Structure 1
Amino acid sequence: MKKYNIVLLTILLSFLALSGLSGLTNESVSIHMHITNTEQGQSPVFIGRKVLFSYSAPSKKRYIRRVGISFGFEDYRVVYPFFKNGKNVFIYVADVPAGIASIDYRIIVDGLWIADPNSPQTFVSNDGFTISRVEIPAYLKYSTETPVIKQGRTVQFIYSGDSGKSVFLAGNFNNWDPFMLRMKEDPGEPGLYSLSIKIPSGNQYYTFIADGKEIIDPNNPKKAIDKNGKKVSYLFVP
């Protein structure tokens, strides 16, 4: 088992490197643990900005050589291979695509195209094929657009994390006060916090504060270093 964990961690690190990630983040550790502990195929699981698909043989008597997956947003042109964990479960880890509300896909088992037996939804396409579908959680759909600049210099900030936290927004637009701008958790989407405020034009720098811990916006690629050498997020308001 120890040898297997080392091999699996090597696979995961290779995947993260190909994804442009470096180091073991909370997301990557969670993915590793999920892969290690998965004992049978299950519905797709979202961890951070990744989604994990899994498949296992319907019975122990059936031997499966290869499993793949193909996606509707790519018109099913590409088949991506699964890898197998130490419990004979085939797994594929994908980035959550931006700009769509759900992921349509099909599983390929030893060359046979099928619907995912663990998919929460299926439908029949115009061509008569049964397609699997998984809805993308609202917090991920929102996070592809954060921060959202609206009319009149109003900006919507969105933070996703654990439910029940005290989350605040601090930036140069409020003199970095860590308690002035509290973000509200969406009761319909636990763990999704948002705040819309009007801020001045120009470059604006900010960070989130969750239970006293400063967190830069993971969904905003624009980063800067403040005068104290601390990394922060920024945006330009017209």
Structure 2
Amino acid sequence: MRGLFTIVVLFGLSGGLYAETYKTVLSEQAKYKAILTNQNFMFNSPFHLQDGIVFTYIGEAKTVLLAGDFNGWKATLLFERKTNNIWIYTWEKRMDKGLHQYKLMVDGIWIDDPLSTNFIIDQSGQKVSTFTLEEDFIPFKKYPLLLKNNEYVFRYFNPDAQQVMLVGDFNHWNPYSNPLTYVGAGWYEMRMTMSPGYHIYCYVVDGEWIPDPGNLVQYSDTTGSIVNVLKVPGELKPY
């Protein structure tokens, strides 16, 4: 995931430090790495990785907790202390798009997020930090995702697709048997219980047969088409 954001970099020049503000494109992973290595730049917390929304606190503390409208304002989300008094909490669950409010509790004291410039003033006159999701946040996971009892979740991302079908040896390559359901933010999804053994499959997206980009176990079949391989655990039933 890549984002456009404003950072402040401090340059050591003769006579002191000078701040130059500019816009740049930097991956969210690079931001996370820069925080953990204590590089000197400012950013607006929280920021988004593919697999989570990362909240950050920097400072001396014994405990740092997070609470917001996304968890019923319960101060139960515990930050993990990294190096150089850097604290991190990563939200790894789905979150609806829109404006969200939150606060931090540092050693038992409620504060707004000092690393965020976004806030509202509540009815008591206190600052409440905010951030906005432009679309539903759905954490990145490797799919097909095994749940239990050989039930798998198949997911496919394409915000421009009108119809996504799952085809494979398990449904005799019928492009009409197993449609995926649109679940929002460009994602299509379905669940299916699979029999043990190796299965080959792909997707049919608006009539075009394409491999599952989330599954890198692929091979070329006898027609030259790229298909995916899924290994389902369990004992094979004798014929």
**Taking structure 1 as the reference length, what is the TM-score of the superposition?**
0.51
What is the DSSP-based 3-state SS (H/G/I as helix, E as strand, rest coil) of the residue aligned with 2:198? Answer: strand
Query: Is the strand fraction higher in 1 or 2?
Result: 2
Deviations 1:114-173 (A, max 9, x none): xxxxxx6675545565234666965641x4131122333222211121266111001121
Matched with 1:90 is: none
CA separation of 1:190 and 1:54: change in aligned 2, threshold 3 A = closer
Matches for 1:80-229 after TM superposition, within 5 Å: 96-98=49-51, 100=52, 102-104=53-55, 123=102, 125-126=104-105, 130-132=114-116, 140-141=138-139, 143-162=140-159, 165-186=162-183, 189-229=184-224
2:35 equivalent to 1:76: yes
- Structure 1: 5+ residue runs without aligned partners? 1-49, 58-62, 83-93, 107-119
**Alignment coverage as a number of residue pairs:** 157
CA separation of 1:168 and 1:75: change in aligned 2, threshold 3 A = same
What is the DSSP-based 3-state SS (H/G/I as helix, E as strand, rest coil) of the residue aligned with 1:76? Answer: helix
> Is the Cα contact below 8 Å between 1:103 and 1:134 reproduced in 2?
no
2:9 equivalent to 1:54: no
Instruction: Using the TM superposition, give the Cα deviation of residue 193 of structure 1 relative to its aligned residue in structure 2, in angstroms.
Output: 1.3
Query: Is the helix fraction higher in 1 or 2?
Result: 1
Instruction: Using the TM superposition, give the Cα deviation of residue 104 of structure 1 relative to its aligned residue in structure 2, in angstroms.
Output: 2.7
- Structure 2: 5+ residue runs without aligned partners? 9-17, 42-46, 58-98, 117-130, 234-239
CA separation of 1:74 and 1:125: change in aligned 2, threshold 3 A = farther
Matched with 2:73 is: none
- C-alpha distance in 2 between matches for 1:201 and 1:228: 26
- C-alpha distance in 2 between matches for 1:148 and 1:80: 36
**Taking structure 2 as the reference length, what is the TM-score of the superposition?**
0.51
1:65 to 20, 36, 39: 20
> Is the Cα contact below 8 Å between 1:124 and 1:131 reproduced in 2?
no
- C-alpha distance in 2 between matches for 1:158 and 1:195: 7
CA separation of 1:180 and 1:152: change in aligned 2, threshold 3 A = same
- C-alpha distance in 1 between matches for 2:50 and 2:222: 35
- C-alpha distance in 1 between matches for 2:137 and 2:176: 23
Deviations 1:20-48 (A, max 9, x none): xxxxxxxxxxxxxxxxxxxxxxxxxxxxx
How large is the RMSD of aligned CA atoms in angstroms? Answer: 4.2
What is the DSSP-based 3-state SS (H/G/I as helix, E as strand, rest coil) of the residue aligned with 2:35? Answer: coil
| Rg comparison, structure with higher value | 2
- C-alpha distance in 2 between matches for 1:75 and 1:207: 38
> Is the Cα contact below 8 Å between 1:147 and 1:158 reproduced in 2?
yes
- C-alpha distance in 2 between matches for 1:172 and 1:218: 18
- C-alpha distance in 1 between matches for 2:115 and 2:100: 8
